[in-house]
Chains A and B, each alone.
Chain A
């Protein structure tokens, strides 16, 4: 594992070798936390995946370091509007169509798929697709969290070109794209999503044993499961989750203000949290655009993208998405360091505070508490 710039390493979690139906609740709870407020609702996805793994058996996980010359990997995700996703659900044919088309375009067999993002429903669904397809899952993802745009993905940071992308809709239409870069892919893919009724399933970024190392965020499925297990089994879930993540609790308190609006297909706004207990008297603000982007207190940035900020239910430890935040909720705000890849110049250019329109310098978040 790559050490952090400050020399520390995130808590090592055991690498899983497979994911079975009994792991899905933990994976879903963990993926919701990595969603940092966005990433879509994990509830439907986890119900479907749990059932699929029960019907088709557990999915084999392989680490990036275990990839051989014979392996070819592709990222898979759902793309589109969550409002549509709860009504026009996926078909069993979509993952099969994608895999077949991707293999044809690549000219070789695809042996594993991986989530494009571990945050939210897209961190959970690929396990079900893999079970159905009979392929392995790479224990890694393309974000280490959830981000709203196609450009904000790790191989793009690492300078690996996206050779092609395949999109399949629920009716059976398939589109193959060979974009010159991710900005163009975003533009064309969006047009395709609209034509397909608001939601599609996509496969992109074919990777190999040569290109994957350093271009993906490693071991994130195992990590999400560990975080979820801590949440579901510990007697004080918030501190257990923080320990597994290497996170600090920024504030414990209650939501006293929610300002949200929808703009260009994104939810933008801010939340204010008033401290309770030993945090009484403190006020913290979270800026958001689908995901939680910046945590501020007394004009000072405590944490910002690409580092991760998640709002948890103070009692249960479950992540609360930006849509579900309500006045009066008792919450704990936690923050932790992103993968070092995001802290490179290219990473910050694509997903630092300025990429989201904040005129703020990026200050790397470091864990202060030691346990």
Chain B
């Protein structure tokens, strides 16, 4: 027995950089790198993984897992790139006929995605009563009418998160009609109640299936090239992981993973289970909250590429403060403009002529090794000094807003502009600047748990049974996503009362999560 510890590689593919880290079983960072993201994705991943493997050299055979977090799906939607054509089926007519599918999509996006849509009889009421019998004939007629012009089908039934059978029946009918390989996506697997948003998310998901295929295969290719004997995972919106084939089926669940990974990684690197995290970039500071090690989720619908969706995303507050934020000396205004990536040419510290917050920070001590502020006139100096006070105020207000008035949380600072955060803030117990803060995203991907979520509506007297049913379903989804069946547990239960029912009803939403199962080993290796 070698007693060799298992290692994990975390990779984060961002718009600009691809970060990679190696973590050992204790979660210690053994290697870290930042590489430019490439257009084909695979190049950046290959460079990042090769670099960290070089650093750990002889221990590469101990890498047992590779976790990827990426904004690739988001970028595909924004750029209208590689999107599949989707046939959209809604079950529940006449309900919802006021609002046909994709009504509020930007024209150019729906032009890329929509192969045709049908509003068919079917769906359920809140108590499970069918709205109309399922229109099987209408379904077949619709599919025949667009034959050969679609790559995938998205199916959304009214109240399907609570009554899933009908969507599944439709799935079977379609496979029977057009073949077992049909790409069919059911809304019950994608989002909670809120028909338009769930339908939008389901269609986006279907549209992204090729993109997801490409990126998952890019990761597999790199793992194979490097000769790693490792299991691969994807990071999803709520800070948990899913298996690669799951990610290939649910790419829409990766869309919020960037901020989630950043928050989880920052919390992990700092050792804080409950904290506020601020990621200070060049243009904005993104703040989030960690509760029991998980990112707090937003209660508001989120827009992606101009489309409203309601899948759960981290609750992020973006403030227009970053290292490149411009300080206007004449008016004393700070931002919202930023020199962005041009800071290495345009900032005063770099010989440029535009005063930025990075220059303001240099009044005290230079944030950039080897660079110092050139002589500036009194007015500029005053404006820069005043801007630092403004930044402290804005960040303090943002932290206060996110912390719900709690004063007992630490503030964890990550990101390249972290020097803008003062060492003391009256609203936080302490300001923590963890090591490896620059690759917090990749660390977040590497340490994530596998998770799943499910919903159930029931009479309030049956709420315990409803929680149990939803818990079982959520646990099953978490296991499907890769969680260890022996260690998965319910981590969150949300209850929403519903009025105007025969008996008071309640909607319960349960999230389960657990550490990844160790494939091929029955016992964790001892140190």
A→B interface (CB under 8 Å): 43-44, 47-48, 51-52, 80-81, 83-84, 86-93, 128, 170-172, 190, 193-194, 197-199, 254, 256, 262, 265-266, 324, 326-330
Contacts and interface: CB of A to CB of B under 8 A. Distances in A.
B193 A83 contact: yes
Contact of A91 (B95, B403, B498, B507): B95
A198 B126 contact: yes
A51 B104 contact: yes
A262 B103 CA distance: 34
B195 A91 contact: no
B96 interface: yes
A190 B402 CA distance: 39
Nearest to B100: A51
Given A88-B125, A197-B126, A328 B405 contact: yes
Given A51-B104, A80-B500, A87 B94 contact: no
B104 A262 contact: no
A262 B93 CA distance: 31
Contacts of B397: 330
B118 interface: no
A151 to B, nearest CB: 17
Interface centre among A86, A254, A329, A330 (most CB of B within 10 A): A86
Contacts of B496: 83
Interface stretch (B36-44, B66-74, B127-135, B265-273): B127-135
A115 to B, nearest CB: 17
B323 to A, nearest CB: 24
Nearest to B196: A44
A199 B158 CA distance: 14
Contacts of A128: 98
B125 A198 contact: yes
Contact of B400 (A172, A194, A324, A328): A328
A230 B502 CA distance: 43
B497 interface: yes
B63 to A, nearest CB: 42
Ranked nearest first, the 10 interchain pairs of A and B with the lowest CB-CB distance are A197-B125, A265-B499, A327-B404, A91-B94, A89-B96, A262-B497, A81-B500, A328-B401, A170-B95, A198-B500
A83 B129 CA distance: 17
Given A47-B103, A88-B159, A92-B97, A171 B131 contact: yes
B99 interface: yes
Given A171-B131, A328-B405, 10 more contacts: A51-B104, A83-B498, A83-B507, A88-B131, A89-B96, A91-B93, A171-B95, A171-B132, A198-B126, A198-B500
B186 to A, nearest CB: 16
Contacts of B98: 48, 52, 89-92, 128
Contacts of A92: 94, 97-98
Nearest to B119: A91
Contact of A198 (B94, B401, B402, B501): B501
B195 A89 contact: yes
Given A83-B507, A197-B129, A198-B125, A172 B94 contact: yes
Contacts of A43: 301
Interface string B219-233: 000000000000000
Contacts of A330: 397, 401
A339 B194 CA distance: 35
B92 interface: yes
Interface string B147-166: 00000000000110000000
Contacts of A93: 94, 97
Interface in B499-517: 499-502, 504, 507
A51 B496 CA distance: 30
Contact of A47 (B95, B104, B400): B104
A171 B129 CA distance: 11
Contacts, number: 118
Interface in B363-420: 397, 400-405
B193 A89 contact: no
Interface in B105-160: 123, 125-127, 129, 131-132, 158-159
Contacts of B299: 324, 326
A324 B315 CA distance: 14
Nearest to B399: A328
Given A87-B158, A92-B94, A328-B400, A194 B131 contact: no
Given A81-B501, A86-B194, A194-B501, A171 B94 contact: yes
15 contacts: A51-B99, A87-B126, A87-B159, A88-B95, A88-B159, A91-B94, A91-B95, A92-B94, A93-B94, A198-B125, A254-B401, A254-B405, A265-B499, A328-B401, A328-B404
A328 B398 CA distance: 9
B97 A91 contact: yes
Contact of A326 (B193, B196, B404, B497): B404
Interface in B476-527: 496-502, 504, 507
Contacts of A172: 94
A43 B497 CA distance: 21
B500 A84 contact: yes
A313 to B, nearest CB: 12
**Most chain A beta-carbon neighbours within 10 Å: one of B95, B104, B131:** B95
A130 B28 CA distance: 65
B131 A170 contact: yes
B93 A194 contact: no
A329 B131 CA distance: 40
Given A87-B193, A88-B95, A327-B405, A193 B500 contact: yes
Contacts of B125: 88, 197-198
Contact of A329 (B196, B300, B401): B401
A194 to B, nearest CB: 5
Given A86-B195, A91-B97, A327-B405, A194 B104 contact: no
Contact of B95 (A90, A190, A254): A90
A84 B498 contact: yes
A88 B92 CA distance: 8
A199 B94 contact: no
Q: Which of A93, A262, A329 counts the most B-chain CB atoms under 10 A from its CB?
A: A262
B161 to A, nearest CB: 9
